């Protein structure tokens, strides 16, 4: 019972990774707000049955849960989701910002709607719920926030400039919030998961690399993500904040974060030509190569 008497909000908990986390957290003793708009993979539409079904699964197993159908993508929605925890369970200890959509398109074809739709759910949705929860957590001097990032942002992927930007933005958000809330006993961490869900099923298999990557992901159960998130949501993980973890089936990964790798200095300052003269020799061997997730994880997952 690692989360006994804790109150957790899991956004996008009606399906996939979110559902598994809600089920495990409830099993570990948390009272859970199961939020899900219940829309399609691209965020359109809604269906309340998606969240309600997970609440039923939790209560059938003897746990406590309540549903919420708001979108994370608005200020009102985010506040209402957190209010659902306060109204039903009296507090909020744990927030898992997991809700997500995909609208993949190569940058030269991407529409404004495809950009905005992804940024609103991931980037703004993470802010909306965190902002609403942060005052309660600050006052009670306790909180655990776990935000969902992706290797599409940390490393790169084709056709996901909107999603990758939002997901790396979430890493920046996580680390800055970790600083803001450190003195109040609130931790923030990010997860880059790998799991076969309907969301990943929408990624087009354009290249041989895409195909290979998706074949590997198809063997990864979303349930593998929940134990690490549940641990990070527990009192025991109080010393861990501002970190980015990956979970790839039975493998748990700690990601590095950018640090300066080379610096150059010139007493007279720089002009374009002096930069052109120096950079290739002084820095080029340390440039970050353009990679996809498949390049960094070429080996088979332990399923």
Known catalytic residues?
Answer: 163
Number of C-beta neighbours around residue 99 at 10 A? 27
Q: Out of 2, 16, 118, 228, name the contact with ligand NAD by CB under 6 A.
A: 16
Q: Which is nearer to ligand NAD, 15 or 31 (CB)?
A: 15
Number of C-beta neighbours around residue 177 at 10 A? 22
Q: Out of 39, 63, 78, 164, name the contact with ligand NAD by CB under 6 A.
A: 39
Question: Please, are residues 154 and 255 in contact by the beta-carbon 8 Å criterion?
Answer: yes
For the chain, the helix, strand and coil percentages under 3-state DSSP, each to the nearest 5: 45, 15, 40
Stretch that binds ligand NAD, among 25-33, 104-112, 193-201, 230-238 (CB under 6 A): 193-201
DSSP state of 225: T
Lay out the site mask for ligand NAD across 114-133 (x = CB under 6 A, - = otherwise). -------x---x--------
Half-sphere exposure of 190 (CA within 13 A, CB side): 29
Q: Out of 3, 6, 15, 174, name the contact with ligand NAD by CB under 6 A.
A: 15
Site for ligand NAD in 144-173 (CB under 6 A): 148, 150
Q: Out of 26, 199, 203, 244, name the contact with ligand NAD by CB under 6 A.
A: 199
Q: Which is nearer to ligand NAD, 257 or 282 (CB)?
A: 257
Site for ligand NAD in 219-238 (CB under 6 A): 222
Q: Which is nearer to ligand NAD, 141 or 250 (CB)?
A: 250
Size of residue set near ligand NAD by CB under 6 A: 35
Residue 184 CA from chain centroid, whole number: 22
Q: Is 82 an interacting residue with respect to ligand NAD (CB under 6 A)?
A: no
Q: Which of 97, 127, 78, 77 is nearest to 21 (CA)?
A: 97
Q: Which is nearer to ligand NAD, 44 or 274 (CB)?
A: 44
Positive/negative CA dihedral, 77, 83, 87, 91: positive
Q: Out of 17, 58, 95, 137, name the contact with ligand NAD by CB under 6 A.
A: 17
Q: Out of 23, 71, 216, 249, name the contact with ligand NAD by CB under 6 A.
A: 71
Q: Is 116 exposed, middle or buried (CB count within 10 Å of its CB: 0-12, 13-18, 19+)? A: middle
Cα–Cα distance, 247 to 299 (Å, whole number): 14
Secondary structure string (H, E, C) spanning 82-140: HHHHHHHHCCCCEEEECCCCCCCECHHHCCHHHHHHHHHHHHHHHHHHHHHHHHHHHHH
Taking the complex as a whole, the smallest distance from the CB of residue 139 to ligand NAD amounts, in Å, to 26
Stretch that binds ligand NAD, among 8-16, 21-29, 130-138, 154-162 (CB under 6 A): 8-16
Question: Please, are residues 69 and 51 in contact by the beta-carbon 8 Å criterion?
Answer: yes
Q: Out of 18, 117, 159, 246, name the contact with ligand NAD by CB under 6 A.
A: 18
Contact residues toward ligand NAD (CB under 6 A) are 11-12, 14-18, 35-39, 41, 43, 50, 71-73, 98-101, 121, 125, 148, 150, 193-195, 197-200, 217, 222
């Amino acid at each position: 019972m690692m989360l006994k008497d804790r109150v957790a909000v899991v956004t996008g908990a009606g399906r996939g990774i979110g559902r598994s986390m809600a089920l495990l957290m409830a099993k570990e003793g948390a009272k859970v707000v199961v939020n899900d708009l219940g829309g399609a993979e691209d965020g359109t539409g809604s269906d309340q049955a998606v969240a309600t079904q997970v609440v039923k699964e939790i209560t059938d197993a003897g746990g406590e849960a309540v549903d919420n159908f708001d979108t994370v993508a608005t200020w009102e929605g985010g506040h209402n989701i957190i209010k659902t925890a306060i109204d039903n369970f009296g507090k909020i200890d744990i927030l898992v910002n997991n809700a997500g959509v995909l609208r993949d398109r190569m940058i030269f074809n991407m529409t404004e709607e495809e950009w905005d739709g992804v940024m609103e759910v991931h980037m703004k949705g993470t802010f909306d719920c965190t902002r609403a929860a942060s005052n309660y957590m600050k006052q009670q001097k306790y909180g655990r926030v776990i935000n969902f990032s992706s290797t599409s942002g940390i490393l790169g992927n084709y056709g996901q400039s909107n999603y990758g930007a939002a997901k790396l933005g979430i890493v920046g958000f996580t680390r800055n919030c970790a600083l803001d809330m450190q003195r109040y006993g609130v931790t923030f961490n990010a997860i880059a998961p790998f799991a076969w869900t309907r969301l990943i099923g929408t990624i087009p298999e354009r290249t041989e690399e895409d195909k290979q990557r998706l074949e590997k992901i198809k063997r990864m159960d979303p349930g593998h993500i929940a134990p690490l998130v549940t641990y990070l949501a527990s009192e025991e993980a109080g010393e861990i904040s501002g970190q980015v973890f990956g979970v790839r089936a039975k493998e748990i990964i700690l990601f590095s974060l950018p640090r300066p790798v080379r610096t150059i200095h010139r007493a007279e300052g720089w002009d374009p030509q002096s930069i052109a003269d120096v950079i290739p020799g002084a820095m080029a061997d340390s440039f970050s190569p353009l990679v996809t997730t498949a390049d960094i994880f070429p080996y088979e997952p332990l399923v």
